Chain A
Amino acid sequence: MSETDRVLIKGNEAVAFGAVDAGCRCYFGYPITPQNEVPELLSSLIPENGGAFVQAESEVGAINMLLGAGACGVAAMTSSSSCGISLMQEGISYMAGSHIPGVIINMSRGGPGLGDIGPSQGDYFQAVKGGGHGDHRNLVLAPSLAQECYDFMFRAFALAFAWQNPVMILGDAIVAQIKEPVRRVPPAGAHKPKDMSDLARDWRIEGFGGRGQNAVPRLLKSVYLAEGALAERNRLLLQKYTDMRREALFDSEYTDDAELVVVAFGSIARIARSAVRRLRDEGRKVGLFRPVSLYPFPEEALRLCATGRRFLVIEQNTGQMVEDVRLALNGVSSVLWHGVMPGLFIGAGELIDPILQAVKEKS
C-alpha cells in the first residue's frame, strides 16, 4: 500500500467509488438527503466507465429500473434514504420473489414520516425483516466506517449475484457524511466483475438469440397461480434464506473475559467501541459484539460468547435489534437495552453511564 492509495472522502463518496470499482454498470436513483453524494458522484463515474446513470422520476421508478437491469444479469444499484426506501418496498419484494439481484443503499434518516435527516437506526426492522409484502429477506450489511462503505460494495455485489437476491447496505447520516481516509483498493479476496456475468449466464434475460437460435425463452417472474406452485416457490425461498446463514458476519473485541457485552451495529457500534475501550482502560470487564451483517444475523457467534455474560444492546431507535439478540440468545443470558433516540448526535461519553449501569445491574 502506498500513501497515494488513501483518499479523504465521505462515506457516500466511498460507496460510489466502491460501486464502480466493484463493477457496477447501472445506477438508478432519486435525490434525497443524506445520500446525495452517491448519485452526484456516480452521475459522472458510471458513464465514464461505460455504464448507464438514470435519475429516476421517483424511488418507485428507480427500484423498478433496478429490477429491469438486474433481470439482465447486469450489476446495478440504487441508493436512497428511509422514506424513499419505503417507496421501493414493492419493487424489492418483486426482486426477491423473482430471484433478481441488485444493491440498495439506505443512508437512513430519522422517522417516522418525514422525521429528520439526523442519524437513526429506525429502519433496522424494515431492512432485516424483508420490508415489503410477502415472505422475503434482503441480505443486509451495516458499515460503520467510510472504509467499510467502500469495501462492502464489493461484498454487496458478490452476495447479490451469488444469491440472486436484493442486498441492502444500511447506514445513516453519520457514516454517510463522515469524512475519513479511505484506501481505494479492492479488499482482499474481492470478486471480479466478470464473476457476476458468469453467475448470471444461466438465468438472465437477454433475447433468446444470445443462447442460440432454438433456445427456450426465459421468464423472470414472481406470480405462481397453479395449485401448489406458490408453496413450492416459498419452500425454495426458505431454503435459500436458510442457506444464506453462512454469510453471517460480525466483529468483536474484549468478549473473551467480558462480564458485559455491548451489542451495537453501524455508526452506534463505532461510538460504543470508543466507550468500551475507555472502560477497559479503567479495568472494567466489558466487551463489544458488532453484527456486521444484520441479515443473516450472526446469532451463532453471539450464542458462542453467551455463557456467563450479560448483554447490553445499544441502538439508535426505540428497540429493534434487541429483539433479534433476545431471539438468538433465547433466554441463555440476560439482555438489557439502551435506546438512543433517532435524530441525536451522541459521543462515546454519553454511553459510559448506560454501560456502567448495566455492569452494576444484577442479572
Chain B
Amino acid sequence: MSRTDKCLRPQNDEKLVFDVNSVLNERVTHYCPGCHHGIAHRLVSEVLHELGVADKTILVASVGCAAFTYDYFNVDSVEAPHGRACAVATGVRRARPDTVVFTYQGDGDMAAIGIGESLHAANRGEKITAVFINNTVYGMTGGQMAPTTLLGQKTTTSKQGRSLSNEGGPIRLAEIMAQLQGVAYSARYALDSVKHVREAKKAVRGAFDAQIAGLGFSFVELLSGCPTNWNLDPVAANKRIANDMIPVFPLGVFKDVADE
C-alpha cells in the first residue's frame, strides 16, 4: 500500500474531489466484481453523511447478497429474517421514534417473500426508508428466478426463460408503492452509468429527506447489475440494464409528497 499512501495526500494546488466518508468503513466488500451493491452502499453512506444523522441511524439488514450490509456501515444494525426487514424496521422505529431507520433489501427479499411486510409497512406510512436493489435474480443462492426477472430471461430456475403464462411478469415495485397512501416518496433509478448514479443519489437523498421530515414511508429502487448470475462481464451487464431493464422498469420519481 505504500505506493498509494504517499499519493493520497493533496499536493500543491490539488483538492481531493472524490473521497469516501466515515459512514462507510474500510472493509473490502464480499460482493462480486462489478456488482452494484458497492455503489448503492456508497450513495446511502453519502446521504447519511450529508444529513449528519449516522449517529442516530439504525440499519435493518435483510437476507441475500445484502445480508452483510452491516459489515460496511458504521451505524447500529439489526438482522431481519428473510423478507421481514420492513416489519423489523417498523418495530425499531415505533420503539425508538427518535431514530432514522432504513432497510436495505434485494428483489427476492422485498418483492417475493417479503412483499406483504413491505407493502403493509408502506401502507401504514411507517417512517422508514427502504432501499431496494433490483437485479432481476437471486444472487446469493445462485441466480434463481426473482419476482423482477424479465420476461424471457433465463435463470437457474427458469431455464426456458421466464414466461407470462407460467411465471407471471416482473413486479414493478416503485409504481406499486406510489399507489399507497402511506408512501411519501417512491422512485426508481439505475446504477449503470455516471448520469444515472448521480440521479440515484438524489433519489436516495429524497427518500431520507421524506423520512426525516416525518412524511411517511419512503422507497427507492435501484436497478443494479449482477454480472456473475447474468453470465456477463460487468461492462456488458451495465449495457443490459440500459437496453433490457430500463424499458421494463422506467426511471423516475413516481411519488414525492414533499413536491405536491
Contact = CB atoms under 8 A, between A and B. Distances in A.
Most-contacted residue by chain A among B76, B79, B90, B120 (CB, 10 A): B76
Interface in A153-209: 205-209
Given A65-B87, A68-B88, A74 B95 contact: yes
B174 interface: no
Given A61-B87, A68-B87, A213-B55, A207 B94 contact: no
Interface stretch (A90-98, A123-131, A250-258, A318-326): A90-98
A54 interface: yes
A213 B54 CA distance: 10
B91 A68 contact: yes
Interface in A18-62: 25-26, 28, 52, 54, 56-58, 60-62
B70 A26 contact: no
A331 interface: no
Nearest to A26: B95
B153 interface: no
A234 interface: no
Contact of B95 (A61, A76, A90, A94): A76
Contact of A217 (B77, B84, B91): B77
Interface stretch (A219-227, A240-248, A295-303): A219-227
A70 interface: yes
Contact of A205 (B92, B100, B124): B92
Contacts of A64: 80-81, 84, 87-88, 91, 117
A132 to B, nearest CB: 10
A104 interface: no
Contacts of B60: 68
A220 B77 contact: yes
Most-contacted residue by chain A among B56, B84, B100 (CB, 10 A): B84
Contacts of A57: 116-117, 120
Interface string A117-159: 0000000000000000000000000000000000000000000
A25 B95 contact: yes
Interface in B82-101: 84, 87-96, 98-100
A66 interface: yes
Given A208-B55, A208-B75, A220-B79, A26 B117 contact: no
B84 A54 contact: no
Interface in B41-84: 54-58, 60-61, 67, 70, 73-81, 84
A232 B55 CA distance: 30
A209 B92 contact: no
B116 A60 contact: yes
A91 B55 CA distance: 27
A26 B73 CA distance: 28
A219 B92 CA distance: 13
A209 B88 contact: no
A65 B56 contact: no
B76 A207 contact: yes
Interface residues of B, number: 36
Nearest to B98: A207
A71 interface: yes
Given A57-B120, A60-B116, A205 B91 contact: no
Interface residues on chain A, size class? 35 or more
B183 to A, nearest CB: 15
A223 B231 CA distance: 29
B84 A71 contact: no
Given A28-B91, A65-B88, A206 B74 contact: no
B94 A54 contact: yes
A228 interface: no
B79 A221 contact: yes
Nearest to A205: B76
Nearest to A28: B91
Nearest to A75: B95
A52 B124 CA distance: 13
A205 B58 contact: yes
Contacts of B58: 72, 205-207
Contacts of A98: 78-79
A210 interface: yes
B117 A61 contact: yes
Nearest to B90: A65
A280 interface: no
Most-contacted residue by chain A among B67, B81, B117 (CB, 10 A): B81
A161 to B, nearest CB: 14
Contacts of A54: 90, 94, 124
Contacts of A61: 84, 87, 90, 116-117, 120
Given A69-B95, A219-B76, A221-B79, A209 B87 contact: no
A260 interface: no
A136 to B, nearest CB: 14
Given A52-B94, A210-B55, 4 more contacts: A57-B116, A71-B92, A94-B80, A220-B79
Minimum-distance CB pairs A-B, first 5: A68-B91, A209-B55, A207-B56, A64-B87, A65-B91
Interface of A: 25-26, 28, 52, 54, 56-58, 60-62, 64-72, 74, 76, 90-91, 94, 98, 205-210, 213, 217-223
Interface of B: 54-58, 60-61, 67, 70, 73-81, 84, 87-96, 98-100, 116-117, 120, 124
16 contacts: A28-B90, A28-B91, A54-B90, A56-B120, A58-B116, A61-B87, A64-B91, A68-B91, A69-B95, A71-B88, A76-B91, A206-B76, A207-B98, A220-B78, A220-B79, A221-B61
